[in-house]
Structures are given as C-alpha cells and as structure tokens.
Structure 1
Amino acid sequence: MRDYRDLREIRARFPKRIEEAAAIRRRRPLIGERDQLMIIAADHPARGALGVSGRPLAMGSRIELLDRLQIALARPGVDGLLATPDIVEDLLLLGVLDDKVVIGSMNRGGLQGAVFEFDDRFTAYDTATIVRMRLDGGKMLCRIALDEPGTAATLEACGAAVSELAGEGLVAMIEPFWSTRAGHDLTPEGVIRAINVGQALGATSARTWLKIPVVEDMERVMRATTLPTLLLGGDPGDTPDLAYAAWRKALRLPGVRGLVVGRALLYPPGDDVAAAVDTAVAMLEVS
C-alpha cells in the first residue's frame, strides 16, 4: 500500500496543480469502441456510506480506496469514473484519468441515516465546476419519498441540474429511487415509478442518462424508458455469482448501455479487484 507522500505534499503546497491536471487531461468520446460502458463508482464515502458486505468501515481508508481505484481504472475495458471532487482530484494528480470518461457526483448532502437524508443538497460538484474541470457530465441521486418533505427540494434541484448540464452539452446522469426511511422500493413497480419521475426532470431530456438497479423483471422495467440506461451494481453481499448472473442478463436488454459499479468491484470477496473488474467487463457487449 502506497503512502501517497507526494500527493499529500502537492495538496498542501501546490493546490493549483489540480486545475492544471484537469486542463491537460486527455478526454475521449462518451461511447467508444463498445456500445456499452464500464464505469467505476466511488461516491459512497461522501454520504458516510462506508460499509461493504458487513464491514461497516470498509471504505473508510482513503489510501486503500485509491489503491483499489487505480487497479480498477487500469484494467482493460474500463471506460471511466464516477466520483466526488475529492476523489476525482486525487486521481487527477495521480495521472490516471487520461482517456477516461469522468462523471462528477453532485448531491451528497443527504447523509446516510440523517434526519435530513431526503433533503439531498448539492454539496459536491455543480455544473460550472464540471465545465471548468472538463468533466464529461454530472450524476445526481434522486430519492422520491412521498412522506418526506425534503423530496420536493431534491426534485427541484435535480431538475435544475439536468437543465444546466444539458445547456453545456454534458450528460446528466440520474439515479432515481422510489424510497422510504426503510429503504428503496426495489420491486419492478417501484423502479418503474422512479424512472418515470426521474426521466421527466429538467427542461430537456436530450442529455439525460439513467442509472438504475437490477431488479426482478428487468425486461418490463426497461420498457419504462427510451433513455440510455446504465445498471447500478450495488453491494452483492454474499452471493456475487447471483448478482453477476442478473447483470449479465440485464445487459442484453434494449437501451442498457453498460454498468456503473463501485463497492462490488472495489471490495470483492477475496479482495481480487482486478479479477472482479475483468469479470464485469467481460459481460459487456462488443459493438
């Protein structure tokens, strides 16, 4: 495990190098040689959601997370990263984001377990910074809870962000959930409701992509939208083989444009990050 002494020194003495690294980063088209994308997600820590498969602080070490992210991003077939500014900036300084799609995570204010969890404030990236840092789009979590007043502000803010990103020609990635305090409604009906609300946010959906979980009856779920859709990997728990089988099947459905996976690949059973990433990449369709 590296100690990242140089990274710490740059952050302390030469913070301007972050924007300099962003200015020279080699960008790429959103969709490359394949019709489907493999994006590594790393925005859970900003919500205080650090647990993986029964380990409550698995993602608590930034040093270990950076080690794992660099392994994942270096694997053949990995197209990019979805993360908050702190993680994106570390990886920019480490020089590992050239030729990658980079999506900035925007609303991380609804901290896990907080009384204000459904008031999902935009506390991370905003559109202006996404543009200035030459990222490829912004992602927003949109939990819809009918008994939580904070949902209204979240919907309004997500709609505004979709409009702003589209105005800059950038992807707006929406992760909609029909939710309660007890958790997300992961029935097909719950996901379909969430999709229909999420895809209507903003003044245009021309640049909107969806990020949805893999649930039962995905064929019916995918009939709810014509938007490009990425599958949320989530935490597969103790049954990764079953999760992988479900991903593989869902990836063959019309409109599915790939995977966005974080914890399942960065902290897999046995801790072989490279093997877990390679398994996921192998599921994607070749154009």
Structure 2
Amino acid sequence: MADYDDLQEIRARFPERIVEAAAVRRRRPLLGERGQLMIIAADHPARGSLGVGSRALAMGSRFELLDRLRVALARPGVDGLLATPDIVEDLLLLGALHDKVVIGSMNRGGIQGAVFEFDDRFTAYDTSTIVRMRLDGGKMLCRVARDDMGTAATLEACSKAVSELAGNGLVAMVEPFWSSKRGHDLSPEGVIHAINVGQALGTTSARTWLKIPVVEDMERVMRATTLPTLLLGGDPGDTPDMAYASWRKALRLPGVRGLVVGRALLYPPDDDVASAVDTAVSMLEAS
C-alpha cells in the first residue's frame, strides 16, 4: 500500500491545490480512435455501498481503494474514471487523471438500505462544479420505483441535470433502473421500460448517454434506444467466465460504446487488479 502522508498533508494545509490540479489536468476527446470507452467506476462508497462479494467492508479503506484505482487507471486501454468529488480530488492531487475522461457522480443521497433510498438527492457534484473543475460530464442514478414517492423528486432533479449538462456541452450519463422496494427489475422488459424513461429526461437528449446492465436478450434491449450506451459491468459472482462472455457479446451490438466497471475489476477474487482490467480491455479490442 502506498504512503499517503503527502496527500493528507496537502489536504490539511494546501486545499487550494485541488483546483490548481484540475486547471492543469490534460484533457482528451471523449471518444478516441477505438470508438469505445473503458471507464472505471468508484462512486459506490458515497452511498454507503462498501461490500464486494462476501467482504462487507472491502471498499472501507480509502488508501487501498486509491492503490487499486491507480493501478487500474494506469493500464493500457483504460479511458477514464467515474467518481464522486472526494475520490476525483484525491486522484487529481496524485496526478493520476491526466489524459483521462473524468465523469463526476452527482446524486448519491439514496443511501443503500435507507428508508429514503429512492429519494436520490444530488449530494455530490452539480453542473456548475463539473464545469469549473473541467470534468467531461456528469452521471446520475435514476431508479424509477413506482411504489416509492421519492422517485418523483429524483426524476425532476435528473431532468434538470441533463438539461444543464447539455447546455454546457457536457455528457449527461443516465443510469436508469425499473425498480421497486424489492430491488431492480433486470428482465429485458424492465430494462426497456427504464431506458424509455431515462432517455426522455431533460430539455434535450443531444448529450445524453445511457449506462445499463447486461441482461438477457440484449439485442432486443438495445433496440429501445438510439443513444450511445455504456454497459454496466456488475459483479460477475461465482461464474466470471459466463459474465465476461455476456459482456463480450453485448459489446458487439450497435449503439454500445463500451464498459463502465467498478468493483468487479477493482476487487477481483484473486486481487490481481491489473489482470482483471486487462481482460476487460481485451473485450473492447475484440468487439
């Protein structure tokens, strides 16, 4: 594990260096020659979601998480990061975000397991800060729970964020789920319902990208939208080969523009982050 004494000292004594690091960060076009993106996600902790498999507090150590993120971001073929301000700022100070796409996670107020979980308040990035910090877009979780009143406020807030991001020429990454208090509906029909609600948010969809899970019958699911779509690489569980095979197949579909993967790559069963990331990148190169 790296020594983060210098990082802690900067945060205590020279917090202005965060903005300075953002101002000099080397940026890149959203899509490179490959035409697909490999994004590492690290916004789970902000919702109190720290578990990976049987490890309830796997993401509890910020030092270990930063170690794993730095390994992942340094691998060839990794295009960028999706994270909340605290993690983005740590990595800015560590110089790990040059030439990367950086997407700021916006609504993290729906704490995992809370009675207010579906009232997904915007407690992290807002559009003005994403612009000021020279990020490349904002991501919002949009769980449509028909049995929870909190959904109405979330839909309105997401709509506003989509409009504001587009007005500033930035990507609005919408992660829609057809949900209930029992969980997400991950049937093809459920994902199609979620896509149709998510892609209609805001005053324009010109800058909207979708982030959706890989489910059965992805050919039919992807016919529900014309928007650029990133695949959510969830926890492959005890059958990673089957999960990776489904990711590979879905990556070949029209409209799919890459992967957003977090815990599955940062905390693989063998703890070999580099190898897990390289495997995911190889799927893009083969699609």
What range describes the TM-score normalised by the shorter chain of this pair? over 0.9
Structure 2 residue 64 is the aligned partner of structure 1 residue 64: yes
Once the two structures are superposed, residues 177-221 of structure 1 have per-residue CA deviations (whole angstroms, 9 ceiling, x without a partner) of 001112100000000000000000000000000000000000000
> Does the residue aligned with 1:82 lie in a helix, a strand or coil?
strand
Once the two structures are superposed, residues 93-116 of structure 1 have per-residue CA deviations (whole angstroms, 9 ceiling, x without a partner) of 000100000000000000000000
Residues 48 and 112, structure 1, Cα contact 8 Å, conserved in 2 = yes
Aligned equivalents of 1:153, 1:107: Cα separation in 2: 12
1:138-177 equivalent positions in 2, closer than 5 A: 138-177=138-177
Tell me which residue corresponds to 1:8.
Answer: 8
* Range with bigger deviation, 276-285 or 151-160: 276-285
Tell me which residue corresponds to 2:87.
Answer: 87
Once the two structures are superposed, residues 146-178 of structure 1 have per-residue CA deviations (whole angstroms, 9 ceiling, x without a partner) of 010000000000000000000000000000000
Tell me which residue corresponds to 2:106.
Answer: 106
Tell me which residue corresponds to 2:265.
Answer: 265
Aligned equivalents of 2:149, 2:195: Cα separation in 1: 20
> Does the residue aligned with 2:284 lie in a helix, a strand or coil?
coil
Aligned equivalents of 2:11, 2:121: Cα separation in 1: 26
> Does the residue aligned with 2:12 lie in a helix, a strand or coil?
helix
Residues 35 and 285, structure 1, Cα contact 8 Å, conserved in 2 = no
Q: Which amino acid aligns with 1:65?
A: L
Tell me which residue corresponds to 2:195.
Answer: 195
Aligned-residue identity in percent: 86
Residues 140 and 174, structure 1, Cα contact 8 Å, conserved in 2 = yes
Q: Report the CA distance shift for 1:64/1:112 in structure 2 as closer, same or farther (over 3 A).
A: same
Residues 34 and 286, structure 1, Cα contact 8 Å, conserved in 2 = no
TM-score normalised per structure 1: 0.99
Residues 147 and 181, structure 2, Cα contact 8 Å, conserved in 1 = no
> Does the residue aligned with 1:104 lie in a helix, a strand or coil?
strand
Cα shift at 1:3: 2.7
Q: Which amino acid aligns with 1:71?
A: V
> Does the residue aligned with 2:235 lie in a helix, a strand or coil?
coil
TM-score normalised per structure 2: 0.99
> Does the residue aligned with 1:283 lie in a helix, a strand or coil?
helix
Cα shift at 1:120: 0.1
> Does the residue aligned with 2:270 lie in a helix, a strand or coil?
helix
Aligned equivalents of 1:68, 1:181: Cα separation in 2: 33
Residues 226 and 255, structure 1, Cα contact 8 Å, conserved in 2 = yes
> Does the residue aligned with 2:87 lie in a helix, a strand or coil?
helix
Q: Aligned pairs, how many?
A: 287
Cα shift at 1:235: 1.2
Aligned equivalents of 1:59, 1:187: Cα separation in 2: 29
Once the two structures are superposed, residues 22-75 of structure 1 have per-residue CA deviations (whole angstroms, 9 ceiling, x without a partner) of 000000000012111000000000000001111111111100000000000000
Aligned equivalents of 1:199, 1:52: Cα separation in 2: 30
Cα shift at 1:239: 1.4
Aligned equivalents of 1:224, 1:54: Cα separation in 2: 35
Q: Which amino acid aligns with 1:74?
A: A
Q: Which amino acid aligns with 2:278?
A: D
Residues 199 and 208, structure 1, Cα contact 8 Å, conserved in 2 = yes
Q: CA RMSD, aligned part only?
A: 0.8
* Range with bigger deviation, 50-59 or 10-19: 50-59
Aligned equivalents of 1:211, 1:199: Cα separation in 2: 11
1:197-212 equivalent positions in 2, closer than 5 A: 197-212=197-212
Residues 53 and 238, structure 1, Cα contact 8 Å, conserved in 2 = no
> Does the residue aligned with 2:56 lie in a helix, a strand or coil?
coil
Higher relative contact order (CA 8 A, sep 6+): 1
Tell me which residue corresponds to 2:136.
Answer: 136
Tell me which residue corresponds to 1:218.
Answer: 218
> Does the residue aligned with 2:104 lie in a helix, a strand or coil?
strand
Tell me which residue corresponds to 2:255.
Answer: 255
> Does the residue aligned with 1:201 lie in a helix, a strand or coil?
coil
